[in-house]
A and B are shown apart, each in its own frame.
Chain A
Amino acid sequence: MGLGFVVGIFGVLFLFHAAYSTIQYRGLLKIMEEEFSDPPMNVVLELLLGFVFCVSASLTVPGNFISIHPDSEENRIVSLPSSLDFTIFNHRAKALPFEVDMKLKH
């Protein structure tokens, strides 16, 4: 997550630098009394680079997806209670007709 965060910071910095370049470009156009049609090509490239950095940061920084199926490997729904004094192994559930394959979750 640290690397994604740094990449995001760089993307935002590129955006700020591109904004500053565009402000300076507009000042130059005002001096030369021309119309503003497009930012110069290097600003567009810098914006694209900052956008790519921000996209990769937004996909890595918030965290991973967790599987929502209860029978995937990371989602074991069975675990022993943490206080072993209250653990009961011998109860009426052995009369139920379920056949469940369970593994312990630590």
Chain B
Amino acid sequence: MTGHSDSSSSEKKSNEEMNDVPVFSAENMQNNMKVIYYSRTFMSIIGGVIAGILGFTGFMGFVFYFLVMTITSIGLIAKAKFSVHLYVDSWNRIILDGFMGGLMSFVLFWTFAYDIVHIF
């Protein structure tokens, strides 16, 4: 190739003509994953506060968490203008990525808000 890449942190997978390996820029992929992670964490916290204020207890709270995560996933897919393959490499990343980590934050803020509003 007669050109050199300027950004030293951008890695690419090898692109032989014989193989069919898809090429993507890992640095941009990391940026997209960071955006998804921030969005999911913030929405988990907000969902926890709302569940605490509404007085959900037990199973209803987890159903509410699932609902909030679904709404967040739909929002992220809409933000990617429905052509998800341009920004992440598989559907699982944009749908399932921060699910378990967000659950911890959700339960924390859920109990916190519930205690403040309903007990004290």
Instruction: Please report A residues at the B interface, Cβ cutoff 8 Å.
Output: 11-12, 15, 18-19, 22-23, 26, 36, 38-39, 43-44, 47, 50-51, 54-55, 57-59, 61-70, 72, 75, 77-82, 89, 91, 93-94, 96, 98, 100, 102, 105
Contacts and interface: CB of A to CB of B under 8 A. Distances in A.
A100 to B, nearest CB: 6
B63 interface: no
A94 B55 CA distance: 70
A66 B50 contact: no
Given A15-B49, A62-B35, A66-B28, A54 B54 contact: no
B87 A67 contact: yes
10 contacts: A12-B46, A19-B53, A19-B113, A54-B43, A58-B43, A62-B35, A62-B39, A68-B89, A93-B2, A102-B2
B-side interface size class: 35 or more
Given A15-B49, A47-B53, A70 B24 contact: yes
Interface of B: 1-6, 10, 12, 23-25, 28-29, 31-32, 34-35, 38-39, 42-43, 46, 49-50, 53-55, 71-72, 75-76, 78-80, 86-89, 113, 116-118
Given A23-B116, A26-B118, A65-B80, 13 more contacts: A15-B49, A43-B53, A44-B54, A51-B46, A51-B50, A55-B72, A66-B28, A67-B86, A68-B28, A70-B25, A78-B1, A79-B6, A81-B4
Contacts of A81: 4, 6
Contacts of A19: 49, 53, 113, 116-117
Nearest to A100: B1
A78 B118 contact: no
A102 B1 CA distance: 10
Nearest to A74: B28
A36 B32 CA distance: 43
B71 to A, nearest CB: 7
A78 B6 CA distance: 7
Given A15-B53, A19-B117, A55-B72, A67 B1 contact: no
A75 B71 CA distance: 30
